[in-house]
Amino acid sequence: MQSYPATYDTLKQVVEDAAKILGIPTPELKIKDVRRGVANYRGGWVSVPRWAVERGFAYAAYYVIHEVTHHHPDAFGHGPTFKHLEAHVLAEFGMTIKRRRVYAKRLHALSGPVLYSDADAK
């Protein structure tokens, strides 16, 4: 995985690429000072909390992919179909996920190195 700073432009590219992988229209990206992200299907946008962006590109890209995956018509909620689609998109970005319930506990490059660990974020 390439190392980029987590900027609006780099994350916008993640949105575009993830939407293309999922075969869905590209939602608009919003970065907000909020606690949780939102996938607004009807409005055609996703929001990502600023704190997620501040954790670096790997985590911010994961968070964007997570929210974009909610726009897939078969990915309602956080069920098995959602998790399968999310894992597929992450793999296309060279990442694999170890979950803590729904969200990432750790993100690894497919080649093995840890890209993000929630233990480092505390």
Domains belonging to the chain, first-starting first, are 8-86 (3.30.2010.10)
With beta carbons less than 8 A apart as the criterion, state whether 117 and 105 touch. yes
Nearest Cα to 115, choosing from 74, 59, 66?
59
With beta carbons less than 8 A apart as the criterion, state whether 57 and 4 touch. yes
Q: Considering the entire predicted model, what is its pTM?
A: 0.85
Q: What is the pLDDT of residues 41-87, one digit of tens each?
A: 899 999 999 999 988 898 899 999 999 999 999 998 889 999 999 99
Q: What is the pLDDT of residues 3-45, one digit of tens each?
A: 456 799 999 999 999 999 999 999 999 999 998 999 998 999 9
Given phi > 0 = left and psi -120 to 50 = alpha, else beta, which region is 120? alpha
